[in-house]
Each structure stands twice: as structure tokens, then as C-alpha cells.
Structure 1
Amino acid sequence: MPKSQVRKKKVYTPPSDISPAVKGATNKPSPVWLPATAVTLIVVGIAWLVIYYLSSQQWPVESWRYWNLAVGFGCMVASLGLLSRWR
């Protein structure tokens, strides 16, 4: 039985007429404060929610009532926003 021919794969060459989105931009490392701030916001958000539930909705700020949940989750969402910029 004859042997089938082996196909040669073409080597990919990127088009030269398309330039990168931003020329000259370098991937600089993240500032030191960014991950520290993000972790702090996560811890503060979790602590805020835990204190709110364990105190039967009397602490941290009783007059805010359910807005305490927004503050706790808002801190955590803000930390996710910061972590999305971390390199």
C-alpha cells in the first residue's frame, strides 16, 4: 500500500501593515500600594459585613440599616477593580 503524503504546515507570519494598539507602551510593574490597598479593602469589607451580622444589625452604623451591606460589598468590589489593574 502506498504511503500518503505528509502535509507541510505553513509558518505563521503576522501581517506587517497592522501596528500594535499602543506604540511605545511598556508593561510597567504595578505600584507597591496597589495589592496592599486591594487586600486591605477586601479585609475591611468582610470585617464590616461580619460585624454587621454578628451585632444583629446594630454596628458599625445603626442608622444606615441595610446600607451597611452596600458598604461591605462596595469595599470588596472596589478591591476587585484594583486587582484588575495589577500586573
Structure 2
Amino acid sequence: MPKSQVRKKKVYTPPTDIRPAANAASKKPSPIWLPFTAVSLIVIGIAWLVVYYLSEQQYPVEAWRYWNLAVGFGCMVASLGILARWR
């Protein structure tokens, strides 16, 4: 019985028109204020929620009622949006 041929796979070569090194060089580092702003928004959001719960919903702004939760969580979500841009 004859032996079957062994198939050799071709070695992958990336296309020459795409240069990932050029894309990496064009990216600038993040500004120094970005992580500080994000961390401060997280701290402000947590502090807002803690004050809201510990004061039995009287502070920071009593007239806003449950919108105080939106402010606290909104600060934390905004910090996530800022951190998504961090390089």
C-alpha cells in the first residue's frame, strides 16, 4: 500500500501594508491629571453614598431623595469612563 503524502502548512506572514509599530508610536501617554481625577471621582461617589445612608437620607441634599444614589453612582461610572481612556 502506498504511503500518503505529508502536508506541510505554510508559515504565516503578516501583510506588509499594516505596521503595528507605527500605530503604537503614535499613541501618546495619558495626562497626569487623568488617574487623579478618576480616583477622586470614585472617592467622592463612595463618600456621597455613605453620607446619604448614614444620615438616613437627610444629607447631602434632602430634596433630591433617591437621586442622591444617582449622583453617587454617576460619579463612580464617570470615573470608569475616564479610566477607559488611560494608557
Higher helix share: 2
Normalising by structure 2, report the TM-score: 0.79
Indicate the residue corresponding to 1:73 in structure 2. 73
State, as a whole percentage, how many aligned pairs show the same letter. 79
Indicate the residue corresponding to 1:3 in structure 2. none
Backbone CA RMSD of aligned residues: 2.6
- How far off is 1:24 after superposition? 9.0
Task: Note the 1:22-61 alignment, pairs <5 A.
Answer: 26-61=26-61
Paired residues, number: 83
State the SS of the aligned residue for 2:45.
helix
Stretches of structure 1 lacking an aligned partner (at least 5 in a row): 1-5
Q: Deviations over 1:42-87 (max 9, x none)?
A: 0000000000000000000000000000000000000000000000
Task: Note the 1:12-31 alignment, pairs <5 A.
Answer: 12-17=12-17, 26-31=26-31
Normalising by structure 1, report the TM-score: 0.79
- How far off is 1:12 after superposition? 2.0
- Please give the alpha-carbon distance, in whole angstroms, between the structure 2 residues aligned to 1:80 and 1:24: 23
